[in-house]
Amino acid sequence: MSECLCSGESFTVCDSPARRQWIMATAGAGGALALTAIVPFVSSLMPSERALAAGAPVEVDIGKLAPGEMMVVEWRGKPVWILNRTPEMLSALKKAEPMLADPASAVTSQQPAYAANETRSPVPEMLVAVGICTHLGCSPSNAFTPGDPALGADWPGGFLCPCHGSTFDFAGRVFKNKPAPTNLEIPPHQYLTDTRLIIGSDEFDKT
């Protein structure tokens, strides 16, 4: 059995198995405490999911979106519609104009300047719109079929809000005498290529 000697400035450490285990346990506990302290600090340097969702642009592949099809993506916690409009849908825009509250998109807060046109898009075939009714925040449903019996023989096709009956055309423009006060919001967006779209940023248009 080893002995511990302490005489003046001379000190011999006991080299017993119990002491070695105690030293290792103490070192391990210290390392664990240090790691515990480091992890929250490192985490604090990383952006949270909420922060990313609050403003991060969303890049979307639209290469497989066929004419007449619509996809929905999330941006800033909102549903964003991406509709590849058919020639028939585009021709319905002109037919709908006399029935619309704001056919010329005069309420400028609802779209970027490059979307203040008949199609409300820099690319006529594509509609990119926030799918939230401007009345009380419900999400409109597809009502693509012209002359839908529920909407009347003169219905040109578009979207119907199931909550209070607001209707919108294929450019997200609101029809007259409906609860919704304005057209649907067009978010900032940019076409990176013919098949890639980024929502939430239009900086590439700025020169």
Report CA torsion sign: 28, 30, 32, 35: negative
79-89 confidence digits (pLDDT tens):
999 999 999 99
CATH 2.102.10.10 domain range(s) in the chain:
52-205
Calculate the alpha carbon distances from 142 to 130, 148, 156 in Å.
14, 11, 12
Four-way CATH pick for 52-205: 2.102.10.10, 1.10.3720.10, 3.40.50.2300, 3.30.70.1290? 2.102.10.10
Residue 164 is among the residues annotated as catalytic for this protein: yes
Residue whose C-alpha is closest to residue 78's, from 58, 59, 105, 63: 58
- Per-residue pLDDT, 7: 42
39 confidence band (pLDDT: 50, 70, 90): very low
**One of 95, 164, 176, 196 is an active-site residue; which one?**
164
More confident residue, 86 or 21: 86
Checking if the pLDDT of 205 tops 50, the result is no
Per-residue pLDDT reduced to its tens digit, 173-198: 999 999 999 999 999 999 999 999 99
> Residue 19 has which token pair?
């002491």
